[in-house]
Amino acid sequence: MNGPCQHYYRASLGGESAYSIDPSSVVFGRGSLRELGDHARSLGLRRVGVFTDPAVRRQPFFASAERALLRAGLELAVFDAVRIEPSDVSFVEAGRFAAEGRFDGYVSIGGGSVIDTTKVAALLATHPAELLSYINAPIGEGRPVPGPLPHHIACPTTSGTGSECTGIAICDLTSRKAKTGIASRRLRPSLAIVDPDVTKSLPSSVVASSGFDVLCHAIESFTARPYTARNASSPATTRPMSQGANPFSDMGSLEALRLSGAHLVRAVTDPSDDDAREAMLWAATLAGIAFGNSGVHVPHGMAYAVAGLVKDYRAPGYPDDHPMVPHGLSVVLSAPSVVRVLGKLLPERHHEVAKALGLSVDAADAGEALAEHLRSLMKACSLPSSLSEVGYGPSDVEALVEVTLLQRRLLENAPRPIDRDDLSALFSDALS
């Protein structure tokens, strides 16, 4: 890579000297969901479990996806009880359906919640064990996924999580009031079919929240610690997916930032702007591939506490059967505070981010300018822009910090060590 970013990847004694690239298989384009049957057949599938949620199941595109599978001669059974923002309980319920269905492959049609649930259902049906044994340490045992999983074709219907390109699945751990998950290359879907036509019917609030998830994936992936700063993995095959920023993930992150900077507000405020919605879906795909190969860090770590400890906030456009801070919103609420602090540590990296978003600013001011820009984007998209607006106050900071400290995988991927005092200051700043 040319320019100042080159200096980011300095060799260090005992540090990594190589990075892994796990590409994702992606079919992208308007109407591509019609190809689902052909791809399932070419992967050798005969009997598939199709996972979705009740709202997506009612969409006409779901019926056409089902027809595409049937036309290709596949048997299928549909599980439409996926919980939005899944829990350990809903993961296990989906795993039971997968085990009883004796499927030789899986299809997910929905947002990140649906795709994550399908990953875990396939895992539990293929390699049965207590869910907690697979959950990331220190909350769970962090047991490696013992073998390959059946093929999984992921068809995202929101433009945010990038879950179709990652080996990560996130859930609420009901007993701990914490969000956590499972991370393994073996969870990565075999193929993503990304069809912009299916995002046409999304409510603006969902486009907004998932769009900020994209922005944060790209910012965090680009500002993660450099892969060279991590101790070399031994054996090399144990190199984690959260390996830190690297030249491959930088490419996807910067392009996702450029696209989001130009299209996020348009995609949210004008539902008829098909070009903007398509650009955001492509940005989500690129950012998903990028952070799937680098990892995210502090804003996502803080977000799992913000979402996990939710009180009574209910978000417009989302199911209102339980209080919920949608994932993208829970991430971006803390992001301005984080870039303000880390911008001082890494001015050049934050300068690159600011330029990709279309800001004209000096490197020394990039963190501060980015923080202000994120807040103004949140307001332009009619989203809350502080933690107090989703129900938190100063007396909640300690609990938010405690839950965030459990997110070891994410905090270790930050460009500098983040301790209790740092988190306390970040949450306090994000309140208002």
Residues of this chain that interact with Fe ion (CB under 5 A) are 213
Question: Minimum CB separation from Fe ion for residue 327, in Å?
Answer: 6
Contact (CB, 8 A) for 166 and 409: no
Q: How far apart are CA 153 and CA 142, in angstroms?
A: 25
Q: Do 177 and 307 form a contact (C-beta atoms < 8 A)?
A: no
Nearer to Fe ion, 213 or 412 (CB): 213
Chain-centroid distance of CA 324 in Å reads 17
Q: Which residues pair with 155 in a beta bridge?
A: 109
Q: Is the distance from CB of 291 to CB of 160 less than 8 angstroms?
A: no
Rounded-to-integer distance, Cα 53 and Cα 60, Å: 14
CA distances from 318 to 19, 205, 268, 290, 401 (A): 38, 8, 15, 27, 27
- When the beta carbons of 32 and 330 are compared against Fe ion, the nearer one is 330
Least distance to Fe ion, CB of residue 339, Å: 16
CB nearer to Fe ion: pick between 16 and 213: 213
Closest residue to Fe ion, Cβ-based? Answer: 213
CA 406, 412, 415: angle at the middle one, nearest 5?
Answer: 135
Nearer to Fe ion, 45 or 178 (CB): 178
Shortest Cβ distance from residue 239 to Fe ion (Å)?
22
The distance of closest approach from Cβ of residue 113 to Fe ion in the complex, given in angstroms and rounded to an integer, is: 12
Closest CA to 341 of 316, 304, 366, 358: 366
Distance CA 196, CA 361 (A): 33
Output the smallest distance, CB 292 to Fe ion, in A.
11
Q: Closest CB to Fe ion among 213 and 422?
A: 213
9/282 with CB nearer Fe ion:
282
Measured from the CB of residue 150, what is the shortest distance to Fe ion in angstroms? 25
CA 366, 368, 371, 376 dihedral sign is negative
| In the complex, minimum distance from the CB of residue 325 to Fe ion, in angstroms, rounded to a whole number | 13
Task: Choose between 213 and 250: whose C-beta lies nearer to Fe ion.
Answer: 213
